[in-house]
């Protein structure tokens, strides 16, 4: 497979995950210039967006006497509760204004189901319902995926782990990611788990 069919997945670089947003990731906006700089190297660029309905099950506001960052079990799935964020059609759900969206070939919106959250850009959290991204990637005959964006220990992590499960050789551009680190130490744990799965950690200057 030619390296010219490598695909970049730009994960959730949205206003609500950047400083001043409803679920701000520390230095979340620092990934923007790095991502802009690497996009031209790829055969295709896929961007993902959290695109939640207001009644999304992962919002703490939709659970009586629950607070952001608490964990609950819903339908057998352990769910972290979040502040309301990336509500469909709101400014918080929009891409960061400095992100070069003209280079996007495909936008995958996730978390649109009110009854189950979706961290991964491949599958909802029930691990059953597909977004369709795997079919798109297969149709363009790529086998190498490079992930970046927000957040390292949630949507980047789950997307990368699913990418391997779908048979793609997977890389994470670690300097083009930032994490939430909830609970404390989660970033390091997720990086270790990705490495165990065979996912390679690289920087934007390494290839």
Active site annotation includes 12? yes
3-state secondary structure of 156: helix
Nearest to 45 by CA among 16, 12, 8: 8
Catalytic residue among 110, 117, 134, 153, which?
Answer: 110
Query: Which residue in 148, 155, 177, 190 is the catalytic one?
Result: 155
End-to-end CA gap in the chain: 16
Please pick, among 6, 12, 153, 162, the residue that the annotation labels catalytic: 12
DSSP letters spanning 50-76? E-B-TT-TTBGGGSTT--TT-EEEETT
User: Is 50 designated active site?
Assistant: no
Cis preceding linkage at 151, omega within 30: yes
Q: Is 155 a catalytic residue?
A: yes
- Which residues are known to be catalytic? 12, 110, 155
């Amino acid at each position: 497979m030619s390296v010219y069919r490598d695909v970049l997945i730009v994960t959730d670089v949205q206003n609500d995950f950047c400083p001043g947003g409803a679920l701000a990731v520390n230095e979340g906006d620092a990934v923007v210039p790095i991502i802009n700089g690497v996009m031209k190297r790829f055969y295709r660029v896929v961007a993902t967006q959290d695109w939640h309905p207001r009644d999304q099950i992962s919002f703490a506001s939709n659970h009586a006497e629950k607070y952001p960052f608490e964990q609950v079990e819903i339908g057998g799935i352990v769910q972290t509760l979040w502040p309301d964020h990336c509500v469909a059609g709101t400014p918080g759900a929009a891409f960061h204004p400095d992100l070069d969206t003209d280079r996007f070939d495909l936008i995958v919106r996730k978390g649109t189901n009110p009854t189950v959250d979706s961290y991964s850009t491949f599958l909802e959290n029930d691990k059953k319902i597909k977004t369709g991204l795997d079919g798109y990637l297969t149709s363009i005959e790529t086998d190498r995926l490079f992930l970046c964006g927000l957040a390292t220990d949630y949507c980047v992590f789950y997307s990368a782990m699913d990418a391997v499960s779908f048979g793609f050789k997977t890389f994470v551009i670690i300097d083009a990611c930032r994490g939430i680190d909830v609970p404390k130490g989660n970033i390091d744990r997720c990086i270790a788990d990705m490495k165990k799965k065979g996912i390679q950690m690289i920087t934007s200057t390494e290839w």
